Amino acid sequence: MAEHADRTPQIPELAPRVRLLFLGDSAITLELPQEHAERVLGLAAALDERIAAGAFPGARETVPAIRSVTLHFDPLKADPDSWLKALEEIAAAMPTARPEPRQWVLPVCFDAEFAPDLAEIAGKPADFIEALTTTAVTVKMLGFLPGFAYMGDVPEMCRAPRRKTPRSVVPAGSVAVAGPMCAAYPWTSPGGWNLVGRTPAKLFDPANTERPALLAPGDLVRWKAVSRAEFDRS
Amino acid sequence: MIIIDPGMAVAVQDTGRFGLRRFGVPVAGALDPVLLACANALLGNPSDAAGLELLVSGPILAADEGSVAVALAGDVSAQRIAADGATSPVKPWTAVVLAAGEQLKIGAPRTGIAYLAVSGGIRSAPMLGSRATYRRAGLGGFLEKGGDLPCSAPGALHRGKEWHWENGPIRVVPGPQDDHFQPESLDALERETFKVGPASDRMGLRLSGKALAHNDKGAEIPTDGVVPGVIQVPGDGQPIILLADGQTTGGYAKIATVISADLPRLGHLRPGDAVRFKRVTRREARAALKERQAAFERWCAALSGAAGEIDHEALYRANLISGAVSGVDE
């Protein structure tokens, strides 16, 4: 049998099309036809429930993303081919989840030292700051780095393409925009987003074993401008 | 054990931190968990016990209170330094007992990476369920001059054969986004030789070679989940293979994924090394992993001083060199 045949299982005619994509022998991504936050979270929750009930022996964890959920498993213990029908059925039931959104107000300092890209991408920095701090953004997913939350959508005025050449060092706490998204870097790392400010908020706490990341998908975040003096005090 | 000199790029690693990828936390852990398991097996430790991953220059460690057993796996050697300053060589693939006051000076691996296991495994405080080091977020164990690596008294002491990784092409399963590439690109992935670039590290291997062209679906995708071993291809067509410290999600199309059986081999590649790939099916990937597991079990079964027995020869040799009275305290 052609290998590709079992990468795209048969889906009932009227069921919403979910593609099952294997990542080698250690994960399957269940991909929705388009971005849909409630269906992504619903699918992740439904899979978690079935994993906890023992339906997928060897399954390790699920990772919700923009329009997909990745199911990781132990390749020595799992037999994912025996899961395909159950996965299709779970996806076809179109579970949705709308977690009660937690609301966060995160301080951000737009001091020029923290915002090397602000002048270049904003016609008037003051207008950019006004637009960014008056629009609540939703956490779409976590990824890239521990506690790194992809948030959107930012107002049109605050959008800018990724930098052509990523920086090799983006300081921890940097608040950045790319396309319709904004984010804060919890850790110093390389990065290609445009740096527009810095937050003193602690976005990841390894001591919190249940929920080490401050933000979770579905959370609402509003940025609040703070002065340099306030930033330095916090 | 006390850390006299932390060496360079030495880190505590176990088999990784699972269950936290949804928070953006990479698995981390040993780049070659099989070699770590070999080092552990030489001391009768569980396969997933934490050890030291050695990459550049090794550390100098000292048994401070009571004796400690150590074992090296990989292309590396070390020196034992007695309290009176006398030195003697320590070879890999053999358990060695260090008496209190003795030091172990570990060299740089001559090729690839290597591991040091200690009796009982390194028992540093786990963070988020694992001792694996992930430097960027300050997770795991860091070696500092004067720091401590908690371990147990010597238990089993074994000697094993060298573990050899085969040299053939790295086997990959196409996808998950092979449909974003020109058909020629998949052929090129298998036909061409790629070179490991200088910007490679535990996060990933940056390869250079013939550009792998995308089709009109392009290089970017809505960010989705990745695994160590995925081959991402950005717009410039030069592949990046994510490794243990790689991010949990990515926005570039992934042409293929390295099979679990071959993933540990990637950890041994150094800048300038050549890499070739070979396409296999998932069924073949599964068979290869089972075969690798069986090979490891055969390797363990061939250890001298098998489980449950005391390896008198190894003990005698260890005690002869160290002068310690006993090597089997618990």
The confidence band for B49, taking pLDDT boundaries of 50, 70 and 90, is very high
Is A98 part of a structural domain of the chain?
Answer: no
Residue type at A34 in one-letter notation: Q
Report how far residue A49's alpha carbon sits from residue A46's, in angstroms, rounded to the nearest whole number: 5
Confidence at residue A162, expressed as pLDDT on a 0 to 100 scale:
85
Over range A124-146, report the average pLDDT: 96
Domain end marker among A92, A117, A151: A92
Which domain CATH number covers A155? 2.40.100.10
Instruction: Name the pTM for this structure.
Output: 0.90
Q: Same domain, yes or no, for A118 and A199?
A: yes
Position B306 pLDDT exceeds 70: no
Q: Same domain, yes or no, for A116 and A196?
A: yes
Q: Same domain, yes or no, for A143 and A226?
A: yes
Query: Sheet containing B2-5: which strands, arranged edge to edge?
Result: B2-5, B60-62, B103-106, B78-81, B87-90
Position B142 pLDDT exceeds 80: no
Confidence at residue B322, expressed as pLDDT on a 0 to 100 scale:
37
Is A207 part of a structural domain of the chain?
Answer: yes
Q: Same domain, yes or no, for A135 and A73?
A: no
Is A46 part of a structural domain of the chain?
Answer: yes
Q: Same domain, yes or no, for A156 and A197?
A: yes
Confidence at residue A100, expressed as pLDDT on a 0 to 100 scale:
86
Q: Are B139 and B69 in contact (CB under 8 A)?
A: no
CB contact under 8 A, A75 and B285: yes
Over range B25-41, report the average pLDDT: 98
Give A 130-159 residues with CB within 8 A of chain B: 141-148, 150
The number of distinct structural domains making up chain A is 2
Q: pLDDT digit string (tens) for B58-73?
A: 999 999 989 999 999 9
Position A5 pLDDT exceeds 90: no
Over range A46-60, report the average pLDDT: 97
Query: Which residues from B are below 8 Å from A213, CB to CB?
Result: 23-24
What value, to the nearest 5°, has the Cα angle with vertex B255 and ends B254 and B261?
Answer: 90
Task: Name which of B127, B175, B249 is nearest A63 (Cβ-Cβ).
Answer: B249
Over range A134-139, report the average pLDDT: 97
Domain end marker among A53, A71, A92: A92
CB contact under 8 A, B137 and A35: no
Q: pLDDT digit string (tens) for B147-170?
A: 999 999 999 999 999 999 998 999
Is A112 part of a structural domain of the chain?
Answer: yes
The confidence band for B286, taking pLDDT boundaries of 50, 70 and 90, is very high
Distance from CA of B53 to the nearest CA of A (A): 22
CB contact under 8 A, B224 and A31: yes
Domain that holds residue A170: 103-233
Q: Same domain, yes or no, for A79 and A165?
A: no
Q: Same domain, yes or no, for A176 and A84?
A: no
Q: Are B64 and B2 in contact (CB under 8 A)?
A: yes
CB contact under 8 A, B222 and A65: yes
Average pLDDT, chain A: 92
Q: Same domain, yes or no, for A133 and A173?
A: yes
Distance from CA of A67 to the nearest CA of B (A): 7
Q: Same domain, yes or no, for A214 and A111?
A: yes
Distance from CA of B302 to the nearest CA of A (A): 22
CB contact under 8 A, B225 and A3: no
Q: Quickly tell me which residue has 């036909």 as its tokens.
A: B191
Taking every pair of Cα atoms in chain A, the longest distance, rounded to a whole number of angstroms, is 66
Distance from CA of A145 to the nearest CA of B (A): 5
Q: Which domains does chain B have, with CATH numbers?
A: 2-161+304-322 (no CATH), 170-290 (2.40.100.10)
Q: pLDDT digit string (tens) for A58-94?
A: 999 999 999 999 999 999 999 999 999 999 999 999 9
Q: Same domain, yes or no, for A111 and A78?
A: no
Q: pLDDT digit string (tens) for A154-185?
A: 999 999 998 878 898 999 999 999 999 999 99
Phi-psi region of A73 (alpha: psi -120 to 50; beta: other; left: phi over 0): beta
Chosen from A8, A18, A25, A162 to mutate, greatest number of chain B CBs within 10 A: A25
The confidence band for B285, taking pLDDT boundaries of 50, 70 and 90, is very high
Domain end marker among A92, A116, A131: A92
Average pLDDT, chain B: 92
Separation in Å, CA B174 to CA A72, A85, B231: 17, 22, 9
Is A161 part of a structural domain of the chain?
Answer: yes
Q: Same domain, yes or no, for A131 and A55?
A: no
Q: Would you call A104 an interface residue with chain B, using a CB distance cutoff of 8 Å? A: no
* Beta-carbon contacts below 8 Å between A and B: 157
Over range B41-68, report the average pLDDT: 96
Is A224 part of a structural domain of the chain?
Answer: yes
Q: Same domain, yes or no, for A107 and A49?
A: no
Is A97 part of a structural domain of the chain?
Answer: no
Confidence at residue A211, expressed as pLDDT on a 0 to 100 scale:
92
Select the more confidently predicted residue: A99 or B29. B29
CB contact under 8 A, A60 and B19: yes
CB contact under 8 A, A23 and B254: yes
CB contact under 8 A, B225 and A213: no
Kindly give the pairing relationship between strand A220-225 and strand A103-108.
parallel
CB contact under 8 A, B257 and A24: yes
CB contact under 8 A, B127 and A24: no
The confidence band for B325, taking pLDDT boundaries of 50, 70 and 90, is very low
Is A178 part of a structural domain of the chain?
Answer: yes
Query: Which residues from B are below 8 Å from A141, CB to CB?
Result: 223, 249
Position A4 pLDDT exceeds 70: no
Report how far residue B136's alpha carbon sits from residue A188's, in angstroms, rounded to the nearest whole number: 7
Over range B35-60, report the average pLDDT: 97
DSSP of B87-143: EEEE-TTB-EEEPTT-EEEE---SSS-EEEEETT---PPPBTTB---BGGGTBS---
Over range B210-218, report the average pLDDT: 96
Query: Which residues from B are below 8 Å from A27, CB to CB?
Result: 225, 227
The confidence band for B324, taking pLDDT boundaries of 50, 70 and 90, is very low
ipTM value: 0.91
Over range A114-138, report the average pLDDT: 96
Which domain CATH number covers A16? 3.30.1360.40
Confidence at residue A16, expressed as pLDDT on a 0 to 100 scale:
58
